[in-house]
Structure 1
Amino acid sequence: MSKHGKFSGNPKTEWLVDESGADRNMRLVEDFSYTDPDGRVWLAPLDSKINGASIPRPLWGTVGSPYTDDYRRASVVHDVACGDPTIPRKDADIMFYHACRAGGCSFLQAKLLYAGVRMGAWIDRSLAPNALSRDRLLFRVPFKLVADEQFVQDKFQELAIEVKLLRDDATIAELDAVIDKHLQF
């Protein structure tokens, strides 16, 4: 096992379409798991519903979208962990960082993705519900960010500048110090 853990393989999924016609969600058609560096197994069981990385939509152009790049497998176990009320969100986010590294993300990418999911947790606590709704972001012509979206992008850019300055082997505690400075958890 690598120092960042390992996956059980590749997740097997099927696309779901909800009543509104949205088709971002998927369902696991078999168990999938990630074993973290401490040996804890993070199970995403058969029939779990997932929707990709928990990156705030205004950051998709900066960080990446839910189903792209080397963090796709990490997003599966992160989605399931975030939906489990017995798992603290921060624990799920730390697991996501290591799973990103195990999936092939560089140190810089994993640090930025970790900052992105921590920002997602902060948004859930700090912004009004639906402040970053799907309709407001995708169906405006001409496209122009509204205040909350611009705020999120600006806040992430400030945070990312400092995160990028950290050593490649920065600890989670060092990452959290930068994140907490900008997000006030």
Structure 2
Amino acid sequence: MSNHGSFSGNPKTEWLVDESGADRNMRLLEDFLYTDPDGKKWLAPSGSIIDGASIPRPLWSTVGSPYTDDYRRASVVHDVACDSPTIPRKDADVMFYHACIAGGCSFLQAKLLYAGVRIGAWTSSSLAPNALSRHRLLFRVPFKSVADEQFVQDKFQELAVDMKLLRDDATIAELDAVIDKHLQF
């Protein structure tokens, strides 16, 4: 196991047909597991519905789209953790950071993805309920307004500049300090 954890293998999934036409969801056909650096097991049980990395559509050209790159496996356990009423969002996001690295992301990519999910948590707790989305998790639905999209892109770009300045071995507290500088939790 790397110092950032390990996965049980590759997730086995099936595409689901969405009546709205989005066709982005998948169902897990087998249990999928991530073990974090502290030995905690993050289970995504068989039957869970996932929708890929929770990246806002306006950031797809910058960060990547939901089912591409080395963060795909991390997104599976993050999706399930974010849907759990017993797991604090912050804990799920920290797990996601480590899982991204365990999945093969560079430190910079993991830092930027972590900033992205923290922006998602910030928007769901700081903006008016319908400012960007009617859904509780901003990253799971398309944006409705160009102004809202530009706002998220600008916040992310501000964070990205500072994240790039951090060392590869920056702690979560150091990442959070940069994020807190840009966002008010």
TM-score higher than 0.5: yes
The yes-or-no answer on 1:156 pairing with 2:164 is no
Q: Report the Cα distance in structure 2 between the residues aligned to 1:107 and 1:179, rounded to whole angstroms.
A: 16
Q: Report the Cα distance in structure 1 between the residues aligned to 2:156 and 2:147, rounded to whole angstroms.
A: 14
Pairing of 1:24-173 with structure 2 (within 5 A): 24-127=24-127, 128-129=129-130, 131=132, 134=142, 136=144, 146-173=146-173
SS of residue paired to 2:78:
helix
Aligned sequence identity (%): 82
Show structure 2 runs of 5+ residues with no match: 134-140
SS of residue paired to 1:178:
helix
TM superposition score normalised by structure 1: 0.91
CA-to-aligned-CA distance 1:111-169 (integer Å, 9 cap, x gap): 00100111111122233436255274xxxxxxxx7111111101110111001000111
SS of residue paired to 1:70:
coil
Amino acid at match of 1:159: L
Q: Report the Cα distance in structure 2 between the residues aligned to 1:130 and 1:80, rounded to whole angstroms.
A: 25
Q: State the number of aligned residues.
A: 177
Pick which of 9-18 and 55-64 moved more.
55-64
Whether the 8 Å contact between 2:100 and 2:110 is mirrored in structure 1 is yes
SS of residue paired to 1:134:
coil
Over the aligned positions, Cα root-mean-square deviation in angstroms equals 1.4
Amino acid at match of 2:31: D
Instruction: Quickly say closer, same or farther: Cα 1:49–1:154, change in 2 above 3 A.
Output: same
Q: Report the Cα distance in structure 2 between the residues aligned to 1:130 and 1:59, rounded to whole angstroms.
A: 17
TM superposition score normalised by structure 2: 0.91
